[in-house]
Chains A and B, each alone.
Chain A
Amino acid sequence: MSPAATLNHITHARYLRHDTGGGHHPEVPARLAVICQALGGQAELFNLITSEPQPAERQWLLKVHSENYLLRFEEAALSGHSFLGHHDNQLGYETYEIALLAAGGGLAGIDLVEAATLPPPLFCSVRPPGHHAEASLPLGFCFLNNVAVAARYWQKKYHRRRVAIIDFDAHHGNGIQAAFEEDSEVLYISLHEHPTFSFPGTGYADEIGIGPGRGATLNIPLLPGKGDAEVKAAFANQIEPALARFAPEAVLVAAGFDGHRLDDMSGLAYSSELYGWLGGQLTSLARRHCGGRLVSILEGGYHLESLGESVGQYCAGLVSMP
């Protein structure tokens, strides 16, 4: 008997060709391979429908990034530079085009959600990741801010003005925060390891937005060693009330899986099961507030075994709500 649920998986074969130089770089193509394998192995839970996105059009990138930066990034890739700005940000000849496809992942997800009467469960497995990238700054393996571009696309193309972004990557999404910190119509909520002990050193609880955006940024730093209980408490005490007050018309998720206890890119100690809980929780919150319009886009997650398992759990959570 085949399962009733389907999961839309948006990914692209070319994502595997973003070359981070080998060596000890943790942001490797194998990350997507383990995810695809894990999702393919869940046949008893959902039918997997995989599709490939188009590259994001320049007009959407320019809502977040500067023209100058896009030119500099493209030139660096095409002229054979091995990194952009910092050794962390390794790139290859094809990286610019692949980054456009990564930014396009979220846009394809939004198109799918908007085309359906009942938004389907959906996950975008993209790389390079995006949430550290700022308007003119590559940082922490990120070049284009996939989630920030998606938020602007949702607002402009489908007139969903109030977009909430929930970022559960173990690291603070400084790029998403910077893109929207003066904007009252995008709520950015980030749960991450405390900035004193973690990259990139931003995301203190007192960073709550600037000017008209004051109150539309919610940072929840967790000390090293914290895990499932603290995340669930943060949802109940801070995230759910903040979403209710904000009343979003759409929800984007910056889905990073490096808070897993086996992933030593952070000192957080999440279980694989927590990601299943998050998938269910976010689905039910999106249904409660905005007709289930929910798009999740991959950020970090570097311990290959736990990454596959965690994304599998998360997606099972997304489809678990009847």
Chain B
Amino acid sequence: MFIATFMTTPARTVSPDTLLSEARELMTTGKFRHLPVVDEERRLVGIITDRDLRSAMPTGMLTEAEKGAYLQRFAATTVRTIMTEAVANLTAEATLDDALLLFDRTRVGALPVVDGEHKVIGIISVRDLLTAYRQLFGLGVKGSTLIGVVDQGDPTVLTRLTGALEAGQIPFTRLIRTGELGGHGSVIYVRVHTHNLNGVHNILAGAGFKTVAPGIERSNDHA
């Protein structure tokens, strides 16, 4: 659950004195969109994004002559001029949940990761976060199915559910209890890794559970 497992490290960085043309070249060849800006000690001082660079590029409204002059000025401008200074960041001890909340609050696409001396040790992007949650939830692993069961709300419901699956030798990964969500009753989702869904349904029915899916409530009424 720690971002250290999923961040890109080391991160490519630039200095405040790097030229915009160089920064653009780095982003194009490295296929990334965020460059932390660091001082001589690698301490985080800002960030520059592909959007910052695009905004600084000449617009289509200019004449060719104006554009040429503008491009010359662009090439000679340093990162310091357009970088964002107050930059949100995380430490390597942060969890994926911390990252998600910070992404949500700041609406940025990537967050530098720093050590105790504020030196940049990595970077984590929204894309990395998606990959991390996909792996944690066992998504995209061929041969798995998401099953939802009605949360009966009793104190041992999770014990009964996981106990029944384990006793039936049904491998599973994700287990989520939604709680009341938007007026819908609580559902427990479990990702099972088997094609024997008939077996899963029999095990669940035998343990007193009712499965749910959008549009249907399975009856489990046949032998």
Contacts and interface: CB of A to CB of B under 8 A. Distances in A.
A265 B169 contact: no
Contact of B222 (A139, A196, A264, A269): A264
Nearest to B203: A24
Nearest to A202: B142
Contacts of B155: none
Contact of B194 (A87, A171, A202): A87
B143 A140 contact: yes
A225 B215 contact: yes
A17 interface: no
Interface string B141-176: 111111000000000000000000000110000000
Contacts of A226: 215
Contacts of A174: 142
Contact of A200 (B142, B169, B201, B215): B142
A242 interface: no
Interface residues on A, range: 20 to 34
Interface string B131-149: 0000000011111111000
Contacts of B195: 88, 132, 139-141, 171, 199-200, 265
Residue among B140, B146, B197 having the largest count of chain A Cβ atoms under 10 Å: B197
B143 A201 contact: yes
A224 B214 contact: yes
A26 B14 CA distance: 60
A25 B145 contact: no
Given A24-B202, A87-B169, A141-B195, A199 B218 contact: no
Interface in A98-115: none
B199 interface: yes
Interface residues of B, number: 26
A25 B142 contact: no
A266 B197 contact: yes
A277 B62 CA distance: 64
Q: Which residue, of B139, B196, B198, B214, has the highest number of chain A Cβ atoms within 10 A?
A: B196
Contacts of A10: none
Interface string B71-103: 000000000000000000000000000000000
B213 A139 contact: no
B220 interface: yes
A88 B216 contact: no
A32 to B, nearest CB: 17
Nearest to B138: A201
Given A198-B145, A200-B145, 11 more contacts: A88-B194, A88-B196, A197-B213, A199-B143, A200-B143, A201-B144, A224-B213, A224-B215, A225-B213, A226-B215, A267-B213
A225 B214 contact: yes
